[in-house]
Amino acid sequence: MLGVGDARPEVEGNKLVPTEAYGVRMMSMALLQPGDKPMIVRGPILHGLVKQFLSDVLWGELDYLIVDMPPGTGDVQLSLAQLVPVQGAVLVTTPQDVAIADVRRALRMFETVAVPVLGVVENMSYFIAPDTGNRYNIFGEGGGQKLAEQYGVPFLGSVPLGMEVREGGDNGVPVVVGQPDSPQAVAFRHVAEEVARQVSIEAMKPELVVLGKAK
Protein backbone atom coordinates (compact mmCIF):
# COMPACT_ATOMS: atom_id res chain seq x y z
CA MET A 1 0.00 0.00 0.00
CA LEU A 2 3.05 2.26 0.27
CA GLY A 3 4.62 0.94 -2.93
CA VAL A 4 7.47 -0.91 -1.19
CA GLY A 5 6.34 -4.50 -1.70
CA ASP A 6 9.64 -5.50 -3.34
CA ALA A 7 11.83 -3.90 -0.67
CA ARG A 8 13.97 -6.04 1.60
CA PRO A 9 15.09 -4.56 4.94
CA GLU A 10 18.81 -4.08 5.44
CA VAL A 11 20.59 -5.04 8.65
CA GLU A 12 22.75 -2.57 10.52
CA GLY A 13 24.42 -3.55 13.77
CA ASN A 14 22.13 -6.56 14.25
CA LYS A 15 19.07 -4.39 13.80
CA LEU A 16 16.66 -4.02 10.91
CA VAL A 17 16.58 -0.75 9.00
CA PRO A 18 12.96 0.21 8.33
CA THR A 19 11.79 0.83 4.80
CA GLU A 20 10.71 4.41 4.10
CA ALA A 21 8.11 5.80 1.71
CA TYR A 22 6.39 9.19 1.63
CA GLY A 23 8.17 10.18 4.83
CA VAL A 24 6.85 7.16 6.71
CA ARG A 25 9.19 4.49 8.10
CA MET A 26 7.61 1.08 8.20
CA MET A 27 8.31 -2.55 9.00
CA SER A 28 6.11 -5.51 8.19
CA MET A 29 6.27 -9.28 8.20
CA ALA A 30 5.35 -9.04 4.52
CA LEU A 31 8.82 -7.56 3.89
CA LEU A 32 10.56 -10.33 5.82
CA GLN A 33 8.59 -13.22 4.34
CA PRO A 34 7.44 -12.19 0.85
CA GLY A 35 5.37 -14.18 -1.57
CA ASP A 36 2.46 -16.44 -0.71
CA LYS A 37 4.00 -18.39 2.18
CA PRO A 38 1.49 -18.38 5.04
CA MET A 39 2.38 -16.89 8.40
CA ILE A 40 1.31 -19.55 10.90
CA VAL A 41 2.32 -18.37 14.37
CA ARG A 42 1.00 -19.04 17.85
CA GLY A 43 0.73 -16.71 20.81
CA PRO A 44 4.28 -17.00 22.24
CA ILE A 45 5.81 -16.46 18.78
CA LEU A 46 3.57 -13.46 18.16
CA HIS A 47 4.74 -11.97 21.46
CA GLY A 48 8.34 -12.36 20.32
CA LEU A 49 7.61 -10.77 16.94
CA VAL A 50 6.00 -7.73 18.55
CA LYS A 51 8.98 -7.38 20.89
CA GLN A 52 11.43 -7.64 17.98
CA PHE A 53 9.60 -5.05 15.92
CA LEU A 54 9.77 -2.67 18.88
CA SER A 55 13.35 -3.25 19.98
CA ASP A 56 15.24 -4.69 16.99
CA VAL A 57 14.30 -2.08 14.38
CA LEU A 58 16.30 1.15 13.97
CA TRP A 59 13.32 3.45 14.16
CA GLY A 60 15.33 6.55 15.04
CA GLU A 61 13.54 9.71 16.13
CA LEU A 62 9.81 9.45 15.46
CA ASP A 63 6.84 11.73 15.92
CA TYR A 64 4.53 8.73 16.33
CA LEU A 65 4.96 4.96 16.29
CA ILE A 66 1.74 3.40 15.02
CA VAL A 67 1.12 -0.33 15.29
CA ASP A 68 -1.52 -1.64 12.89
CA MET A 69 -3.08 -4.50 14.80
CA PRO A 70 -5.45 -7.26 13.72
CA PRO A 71 -9.07 -6.84 14.77
CA GLY A 72 -10.37 -8.20 18.02
CA THR A 73 -8.81 -8.88 21.40
CA GLY A 74 -5.99 -11.26 20.57
CA ASP A 75 -2.39 -11.92 21.54
CA VAL A 76 -0.89 -8.99 19.62
CA GLN A 77 -2.92 -6.40 21.52
CA LEU A 78 -2.10 -7.95 24.89
CA SER A 79 1.60 -8.26 24.06
CA LEU A 80 1.84 -4.64 23.01
CA ALA A 81 0.15 -3.47 26.19
CA GLN A 82 2.60 -5.54 28.26
CA LEU A 83 5.77 -4.52 26.42
CA VAL A 84 5.54 -0.74 26.14
CA PRO A 85 3.64 2.16 27.72
CA VAL A 86 1.10 2.65 24.93
CA GLN A 87 -0.06 6.25 24.61
CA GLY A 88 -3.47 5.20 23.37
CA ALA A 89 -5.56 3.03 21.07
CA VAL A 90 -7.52 4.15 18.02
CA LEU A 91 -10.48 1.87 17.33
CA VAL A 92 -11.67 1.53 13.74
CA THR A 93 -15.10 0.20 12.85
CA THR A 94 -17.60 0.17 10.05
CA PRO A 95 -21.18 1.25 10.76
CA GLN A 96 -22.86 -2.16 10.94
CA ASP A 97 -23.69 -3.89 14.21
CA VAL A 98 -21.44 -6.93 13.66
CA ALA A 99 -18.30 -4.78 13.38
CA ILE A 100 -19.32 -2.59 16.30
CA ALA A 101 -19.73 -5.64 18.54
CA ASP A 102 -16.07 -6.56 17.97
CA VAL A 103 -14.89 -3.00 18.58
CA ARG A 104 -16.91 -2.83 21.78
CA ARG A 105 -15.01 -5.85 23.10
CA ALA A 106 -11.70 -4.30 22.05
CA LEU A 107 -12.60 -1.09 23.87
CA ARG A 108 -13.31 -3.01 27.06
CA MET A 109 -10.07 -4.94 26.70
CA PHE A 110 -7.99 -1.77 26.43
CA GLU A 111 -9.74 -0.37 29.48
CA THR A 112 -8.85 -3.57 31.36
CA VAL A 113 -5.14 -3.29 30.50
CA ALA A 114 -5.10 0.47 31.27
CA VAL A 115 -4.53 1.65 27.69
CA PRO A 116 -6.38 4.93 27.01
CA VAL A 117 -8.81 4.84 24.10
CA LEU A 118 -8.07 7.90 21.99
CA GLY A 119 -11.30 7.53 20.07
CA VAL A 120 -13.30 5.78 17.37
CA VAL A 121 -12.97 6.09 13.60
CA GLU A 122 -15.79 4.99 11.33
CA ASN A 123 -14.54 3.60 8.01
CA MET A 124 -16.66 2.96 4.90
CA SER A 125 -19.28 5.26 6.41
CA TYR A 126 -21.16 6.02 3.20
CA PHE A 127 -20.84 6.05 -0.56
CA ILE A 128 -21.49 9.00 -2.86
CA ALA A 129 -22.33 7.90 -6.39
CA PRO A 130 -20.04 9.79 -8.79
CA ASP A 131 -22.69 9.99 -11.52
CA THR A 132 -25.61 11.28 -9.44
CA GLY A 133 -24.05 12.62 -6.24
CA ASN A 134 -26.54 10.59 -4.21
CA ARG A 135 -25.38 9.34 -0.83
CA TYR A 136 -25.87 5.71 0.15
CA ASN A 137 -25.33 4.32 3.65
CA ILE A 138 -24.39 0.84 2.46
CA PHE A 139 -23.28 -0.54 5.84
CA GLY A 140 -25.69 1.38 8.03
CA GLU A 141 -25.48 4.84 9.51
CA GLY A 142 -23.84 6.43 12.55
CA GLY A 143 -22.76 3.26 14.32
CA GLY A 144 -19.26 4.53 15.11
CA GLN A 145 -20.46 7.81 16.54
CA LYS A 146 -23.12 6.09 18.64
CA LEU A 147 -20.47 3.72 20.03
CA ALA A 148 -18.21 6.64 20.94
CA GLU A 149 -21.05 8.44 22.68
CA GLN A 150 -22.10 5.29 24.53
CA TYR A 151 -18.65 4.81 26.06
CA GLY A 152 -17.72 8.46 26.45
CA VAL A 153 -14.74 8.47 24.07
CA PRO A 154 -14.03 10.93 21.24
CA PHE A 155 -15.41 10.33 17.77
CA LEU A 156 -12.41 10.99 15.53
CA GLY A 157 -14.21 11.12 12.21
CA SER A 158 -15.74 9.11 9.39
CA VAL A 159 -14.17 8.03 6.11
CA PRO A 160 -16.43 7.56 3.08
CA LEU A 161 -16.25 4.49 0.88
CA GLY A 162 -14.61 5.13 -2.49
CA MET A 163 -12.55 3.54 -5.21
CA GLU A 164 -9.82 6.12 -4.65
CA VAL A 165 -8.59 4.38 -1.51
CA ARG A 166 -8.57 0.94 -3.13
CA GLU A 167 -6.82 2.23 -6.26
CA GLY A 168 -4.22 4.06 -4.19
CA GLY A 169 -3.53 0.98 -2.10
CA ASP A 170 -3.19 -1.25 -5.17
CA ASN A 171 -0.90 1.25 -6.91
CA GLY A 172 1.22 1.93 -3.82
CA VAL A 173 0.32 5.63 -3.77
CA PRO A 174 -1.73 6.63 -0.69
CA VAL A 175 -4.87 8.55 -1.52
CA VAL A 176 -3.65 11.54 0.51
CA VAL A 177 -0.74 11.78 -1.95
CA GLY A 178 -2.31 10.67 -5.21
CA GLN A 179 -5.67 12.41 -4.82
CA PRO A 180 -5.24 14.88 -1.97
CA ASP A 181 -8.49 16.73 -2.69
CA SER A 182 -10.70 13.64 -2.70
CA PRO A 183 -13.30 13.25 0.08
CA GLN A 184 -11.38 10.26 1.40
CA ALA A 185 -8.08 12.16 1.63
CA VAL A 186 -9.80 15.08 3.36
CA ALA A 187 -11.37 12.64 5.83
CA PHE A 188 -8.05 10.90 6.54
CA ARG A 189 -6.33 14.23 7.26
CA HIS A 190 -9.14 15.19 9.60
CA VAL A 191 -8.82 11.87 11.46
CA ALA A 192 -5.03 12.31 11.70
CA GLU A 193 -5.46 15.79 13.17
CA GLU A 194 -7.96 14.50 15.73
CA VAL A 195 -5.68 11.60 16.71
CA ALA A 196 -2.75 13.99 17.15
CA ARG A 197 -4.94 16.22 19.30
CA GLN A 198 -5.98 13.34 21.54
CA VAL A 199 -2.36 12.16 21.88
CA SER A 200 -1.40 15.66 23.02
CA ILE A 201 -4.24 15.68 25.54
CA GLU A 202 -3.12 12.33 26.95
CA ALA A 203 0.49 13.51 27.13
CA MET A 204 -0.53 16.55 29.17
CA LYS A 205 -2.46 14.55 31.78
CA PRO A 206 -0.65 14.35 35.12
CA GLU A 207 0.63 10.98 36.22
CA LEU A 208 -1.22 9.27 39.05
CA VAL A 209 1.15 8.80 41.99
CA VAL A 210 0.40 6.00 44.44
CA LEU A 211 2.71 5.38 47.41
CA GLY A 212 5.42 7.43 45.78
CA LYS A 213 5.38 5.48 42.51
CA ALA A 214 4.07 6.84 39.25
CA LYS A 215 1.29 4.74 37.74
Model confidence at 213, pLDDT cuts 50, 70, 90, reads very low
- Does pLDDT of 209 surpass 70? no
Is residue 34 domain-shared with residue 129, that is, in the same domain?
no
Q: In whole angstroms, what is the distance from residue 48 CA to residue 116 CA?
A: 24
Same domain flag for 180 and 206? yes
- 114 and 20: one domain? no
More confidently predicted of 77 and 36:
77
Helices (H), 36-155: 43-55, 75-83, 97-112, 143-151
Kindly report, residue by residue over 145-157, the tens digit of the pLDDT: 999 999 999 999 9
Find out whether 198 and 89 touch, Cβ atoms under 8 Å. no
| pLDDT tens column, 8-67 | 888 998 899 999 999 999 988 888 776 666 666 665 667 778 888 888 999 999 999 998
* Number of Cβ atoms within 10 Å of the Cβ of 162: 21
CATH number, position 73: 3.40.50.300
Counted domains in the chain:
2
Answer with the one of 62, 77, 106 that is the final residue of a domain: 62
Burial class (CB in 10 A: 0-12, 13-18, 19+), 174: buried
Task: Print the domain residue range for 75.
Answer: 68-214
pLDDT value at residue 208: 52
Helix orientation angle between 75-83 and 97-112, rounded to the nearest 10 degrees: 30
41 and 72 inside one domain: no
Secondary structure percentages of the chain, helix, strand, coil, to 5 = 40, 15, 45
The reply to whether 156 and 126 lie within a common domain is yes
Work out whether the CA dihedral 152, 156, 158, 164 comes out positive or negative: negative
41 shares its domain with 126: no
Average pLDDT of the chain to the nearest whole number:
86
Query: Which of 62, 82, 111 is at the close of a domain?
Result: 62
